[in-house]
Amino acid sequence: MEQRNVIITGIQGAGKGTQSEILRDKYGFKHISTGNMFRIQYACGSSLGIEAHKYWSIGALVPDSITISLLKRHLSTDKNLLDGFPRTLPQAQALDDMLLETDRFITQVIALELSDESALQRIEIRQTCIHCGTVYGSAKQPALPNFCDICTAPLITRADDTTEKARTRIATYHSQTKPLIQLYSARDIVHHIDASLPPEQVAAHIVRALKL
């Protein structure tokens, strides 16, 4: 089977989670979201989750050593979709090293492009299910306000989705994560996608880019 190790990256609010769910449900990718994994670990009361919460609760990046330790447990042999990782150049190198251990490599990068202003508008109205992690916003609203369509659990505004913390995360994205585009562009594997379009149109562009 042809290996697929795809990174989906973009500013907070660009729709990485929404598009990842589509690729998971329709095309069989394993959706690996470090953010969701950390939230699950924190909800379970694990030491790793508690340590990670100290950082994401203030809008800061979780240290590489913690993130990489968690990621190693979840990489599958093929069709990985990495959402929210890597976010720094050292993480990108660590990811390359992990994949190389089993003769794998990053095959494609989906870069979702969205302005800072649009990202803030989306983040400010975003809600997340406290149980399954499903995200709702302007493009995807629950049938029953404040409750998840999938598991009926309550929806909350994440602690790191306040305007102040969102601005911090956006600044961190520009300083630490956006440089990764240059790294992967040098390998000629980056596909730039306009994330301001409706989700179904964004998905269609991604499917074409990945030749699914």
CA–CA gap between residue 89 and residue 164 (Å, rounded): 25
Q: How far is CA 149 from CA 21, 178, 199, in A?
A: 15, 33, 18
Give me the DSSP letters along 105-122. ---EEEEEE--HHHHHHH
Classified as helix, coil or strand, 176 is helix
Residue among 167, 145, 143 nearest 155 (CA): 145
Q: Is 24 a catalytic residue?
A: no
Q: Which amino acid is at 29?
A: F
Cβ neighbors of 74 (< 8 A, separation 6 or more) are 30, 32, 37
Which listed residue (4, 39, 122, 158) is catalytic? 158
Which listed residue (79, 87, 122, 165) is catalytic? 87
Q: Is 79 a catalytic residue?
A: no
Q: Is 39 a catalytic residue?
A: no
Other residues' Cβ atoms within 10 Å of the Cβ of residue 14: 24
Which listed residue (4, 16, 79, 165) is catalytic? 16
Q: What are phi and psi of 56, to 5 degrees?
A: -70, -25
Q: Is 169 a catalytic residue?
A: yes
Q: Is 4 a catalytic residue?
A: no
Which listed residue (39, 79, 165, 169) is catalytic? 169
What percent of the chain is helix, strand and coil (3-state, nearest 5)?
45, 15, 40
Which listed residue (4, 39, 126, 165) is catalytic? 126
Q: Supply the residues annotated as catalytic.
A: 16, 87, 126, 158, 169
